[in-house]
Amino acid sequence: MKKLDIRYEDKDLIVVSKPAKMLTISDNSSRPSLYEAVSDYVKKQHKNNKIFIVHRLDKDTAGLIVFAKSMRVKTLLQKNWDQVSRKYYAVVEDQIKPQQKTLINYLKESKTFQVYVSKEGQKAITEYTVIKSNTKYSLIDINIKTGRKNQIRVQLSHYGYPVVGDKKYGSLSKTLNRLALVAYNLSFCHPITGELITLTTPVPKDFLALVEEEKK
């Protein structure tokens, strides 16, 4: 893979931007994972140091991921994970309405690993605000309040606005060669120092290109 895109690092943790189409952690296949790449980097930089998974992103979702350098730091981060602010950019099909909304659904996973809306599922809360749109696509800013599997993708698709490139949940668009979803912002208190850590990345250029003003 390309050189790691490290956005923050200290003796306790490391934050890396994961490219789309890469596993967070190995699924026992031959495909490379971000965990392996970060582990190799840390071992070279700090002999015999281990890293620990704190959270994950779907393989097709790009964005910021935190790894801990000790079990203690991992435990502290996960214990307070509900206080971590996690934001995403997405491009969805169609002109999404209203301009701002909080989506509340209950999600359940099938035996074939497909997540769907069900009264018997776990509560999922997703807030979105439209940044820019045209008649075909909408670029939205998303703030998740819960961390269910495929949460953003399933909820948006349920309301008729699948994420561009998301064949699994109904997207018909072939304008990008990847899923139009990126975890662009993380904000959390450092588990050891108490310092507020806020990391962010800009809107991808190919996302912006989709919502440019349509030519007449």
Contact 141, 132 (CB under 8 A): no
C-alpha angle 41-203-21 in degrees, rounded to nearest 5: 50
Residue 90 tokens read as: 């997405």
**Virtual torsion, Cα 36, 59, 2, 4, nearest 10 deg:** -60
Dist CA 109 CA 95 (whole Å): 28
60 is catalytic: no
Do 210 and 180 contact (CB within 8 A), yes or no? yes
How many residues are recorded in the chain?
216
Reference 215, options 107, 109, 111, 134; nearest CA is 134
> Is residue 120 classed exposed, middle or buried when 0-12, 13-18 and 19+ CB atoms within 10 A define those classes?
exposed
Q: Which of 10, 12, 40, 58 is catalytic?
A: 58
The secondary structure element, H or E, covering residue 77 is: helix 71-79
Other beta carbons less than 10 A from residue 171's beta carbon: 22
Q: Which residues belong to the active site?
A: 58
